[in-house]
Amino acid sequence: MNTKLTIRGDAQRKRFLGQNNIECIAHLVLLPRQMIKCCCNNDITSDYYVFLYKPLFTEGKEDTFPAGPSCGKRFIELGMLSEPPLTNIFDNEVVHGRESSIGNHSHSSDNKIRLVDRMTPLNKEMYLAISLLFMIWENPKNGALFNYMLGIIKYPHSDIFKYKVKTLHNAIDSTRGRGERTLHEMLKDMTEGKCKKYDFPLIREILKKEYNIVYPLI
């Protein structure tokens, strides 16, 4: 994730939008002790958006950048981008007055209701699981998972390919370090046990049936 960008004010945002193909792929919550800088160089203290971008006129590589609530919202408005649902993992907490719209039944706008409700059950599980993994990473760099999220946003009604479920599991496996820690156990450690417990029955079924993974890490 590119944390060295400095984009302040609407003039610079418009210039950046004109020079890059950009999509908003996630809306996440900062975990305890994490520190992330917004693209405007201010500290992010609560929730933040993740944008995927690629230069239109140069050979620059695809990358992502974080934006805090107000800055990210302005990018979405100026670029007329789809706004992803907020993933809030904390029990009984509201972030900036907005409840989570992935992982529970609360929605904060008609746009988010349409997006979440249009996701197939498998896509909803995958989008949530990748979002949770990105929170753990703090500075996500896995281009494949970025594009999986973008694909779900663009084609929520079409189930993601099964091999992508295995790719996600591999990413979790490479993240956990020593010990048989699952995705939830890693989140629990990082939040001192204050995170919600999620279930991913469709992902687990695919991992068991298609890839003979008896004890999925999710």
pLDDT in tens, 44-95: 988 999 999 999 998 888 899 999 999 999 999 999 998 888 998 886 554 4
Distance CA 154, CA 131 (A): 16
Q: Where are the alpha helices (DSSP H) in 6-120?
A: 9-19, 69-79, 110-118
Residue-averaged pLDDT of the chain? 87
Among 144-148, 164-168, 187-191, name the most confident range.
164-168
Q: Where are the alpha helices (DSSP H) in the chain?
A: 9-19, 69-79, 110-118, 121-137, 143-154, 162-175, 183-190, 201-211
Mean pLDDT (whole number) for 197-217: 95
Q: Are strands 36-37 and 43-44 parallel, antiparallel or unpaired?
A: antiparallel
- Start-to-end C-alpha separation, the chain: 24
Q: Which two tokens stand for residue 116?
A: 């979440």
pLDDT higher than 50, residue 171: yes
DSSP state of 108: S
**Amino acid 92: pLDDT:** 52
**Amino acid 51: pLDDT:** 95
The tokens 């609407």 sit on which residue?
10
Distance CA 76, CA 184 (A): 30
Assess contact for 126 and 168: CB atoms under 8 A: yes
Go through 183-201 and write b for each residue having 16 or more CB atoms within 10 A of its CB, e for each that does not.
bbebbbebbeeebbebebe
**Amino acid 141: pLDDT:** 72
Q: Which two tokens stand for residue 197?
A: 């417990």
What's the whole-model pTM score? 0.87
Measured N-to-C along each axis, helices 201-211 and 162-175 cross at an angle, to the nearest 10 degrees, of: 100
Assess contact for 149 and 25: CB atoms under 8 A: yes
pLDDT higher than 70, residue 165: yes
What does the pLDDT look like over 94-135, one tens digit per residue? 444 444 455 543 334 455 556 778 899 999 999 999 999 999
Contacts with 133 (C-beta within 8 Å, 6 or more apart), sequence order: 140, 145, 168, 171, 172, 175, 183
Distance CA 202, CA 72 (A): 32
Residue 188 CA neighbour count, 13 Å, CB half: 10
pLDDT higher than 50, residue 3: yes
Mean pLDDT (whole number) for 168-197: 88
What confidence category does residue 1 fall into, taking pLDDT thresholds of 50, 70 and 90?
confident
**Amino acid 178: pLDDT:** 62
**Amino acid 111: pLDDT:** 54
